[in-house]
Chains A and B, each alone.
Chain A
Amino acid sequence: MKQRRSLVTSVVMLLLSAVVALPFYYIVVNTLKTQAETLASPLGLPSSLNLDNYVTVFRDTPVVRSFLNTLYVTVLSIGLMLVIGSLAAFAVVVGSKKLAGILGVVLAVAFVVPGQATLIPQYEMFAKAHLVDSLNGLVLIYSAGSIFCYFLIVGYMRTLPLEIFEAARVDGAGPWRIYYAIVLPLIRPILVTVGVFQTMWVWNDFLLPNVFISSPTRQTLVLQVYTAVGQFTTNWPTFMTLTVVVLLPMLVFFIVMQRHIVSGLVAGSVKG
Chain B
Amino acid sequence: MSITRVANVAIDDGTHRDARVRRRIDSVGTWGFAAPILAVFLILFLIPLARSVYFSFTDYTGYSTDVNFVGFSNYARIFSDTSLISSLSFTLLFAVATTVLVTVAAIPLALVLNRAFAGRNLVRSVYFFPAVPSAAILGLVWGFILNPLGSGALNTMLRSVFGVGPVPWLADSHLAQASVIAVSLWSQTGWHAVLYLAYLQAIPAEYFEVARIDGASRSQQLRFITLPLLAPAMTVSWLLLMTGGLKVYDLPFTLTGGGPGFATRTLTQSIIQSGIARGDYGTASALAVLFLLAVGGVVLVQLRFSRRMEGRFS
Contact = CB atoms under 8 A, between A and B. Distances in A.
Main secondary structure of the interface of B (DSSP, over half): helix
Contact of B31 (A27, A91, A211, A254): A91
B22 A114 contact: no
B44 interface: yes
A6 B191 contact: no
Contacts of B233: 269
Interface stretch (B92-100, B116-124, B171-179): B116-124
Interface stretch (B74-82, B129-137, B208-216): B129-137
B30 A175 contact: yes
Contacts of B33: 87-88, 90-91, 95, 175, 179
B55 interface: yes
Contacts of B275: 119-120, 123
Interface string A148-187: 0011001100100011011001000011001100000000
B292 A222 contact: no
A247 interface: yes
A83 to B, nearest CB: 8
A140 to B, nearest CB: 8
Interface stretch (B162-170, B219-227, B283-291): B283-291
B41 A265 contact: no
Contact of A123 (B26, B127, B276): B276
A204 B195 contact: no
A121 B52 contact: yes
Interface in B128-166: 128-130, 132-138, 140-145, 151-153, 156-157
Interface stretch (A51-59, A61-69, A71-79, A96-104): A96-104
A192 interface: no
Between A104, A121, A125, A151, the greatest number of chain B beta carbons within 10 A of the residue's beta carbon is seen for A121
Contact of A165 (B25, B55, B129): B25
A91 B194 CA distance: 34
A105 B211 CA distance: 44
A83 B37 CA distance: 10
Nearest to B244: A114
Contact of B28 (A122, A174, A269): A174
A119 B271 contact: yes
Contacts of B6: 104, 107-108, 111, 151
Given A90-B33, A119-B288, A269 B135 contact: no
Contact of B243 (A114, A147, A151, A163): A114
A99 B130 contact: no
Interface string B169-211: 0000000000000000010001100110010000000000000
B41 A106 contact: yes
Contacts, number: 329
A123 B41 CA distance: 16
Contacts of B309: none
Nearest to A94: B25
Nearest to B236: A269
Contact of A204 (B13, B134, B243, B271): B134
Main secondary structure of the interface of A (DSSP, over half): helix
Contact of A14 (B4, B24, B119, B285): B119
B52 A166 contact: no
A10 B124 CA distance: 12
A17 B186 CA distance: 11
Nearest to B283: A120
B250 A43 contact: no
Interface of B: 1-7, 9-14, 17-18, 21-22, 24-26, 28-34, 36-38, 40-41, 43-49, 51-52, 55, 62, 112, 115-120, 122-123, 125-130, 132-138, 140-145, 151-153, 156-157, 186, 190-191, 194-195, 198, 233, 236-237, 239-240, 243, 246-247, 249-250, 253-254, 267-268, 271-272, 275-276, 281, 284-285, 288-289, 291-292, 295-296, 299
Given A43-B157, A114-B295, A154-B9, 11 more contacts: A17-B127, A20-B130, A87-B33, A94-B26, A108-B7, A119-B272, A121-B285, A141-B44, A162-B17, A222-B137, A251-B132
23 contacts: A14-B123, A100-B9, A100-B10, A100-B13, A104-B6, A104-B9, A111-B3, A113-B292, A116-B268, A119-B275, A122-B48, A124-B281, A125-B48, A144-B40, A146-B37, A151-B9, A166-B18, A166-B21, A222-B134, A240-B141, A265-B195, A266-B198, A272-B239
Interface of A: 6-7, 9-10, 13-14, 16-17, 20-21, 23-24, 26-27, 39, 41-43, 83-85, 87-88, 90-97, 99-125, 127, 141, 143-144, 146-147, 150-151, 154-155, 158, 162-163, 165-166, 169, 174-175, 178-179, 200, 203-207, 210-211, 222, 225-226, 229, 236, 239-240, 243, 246-247, 250-251, 253-254, 258, 261-262, 265-266, 268-272
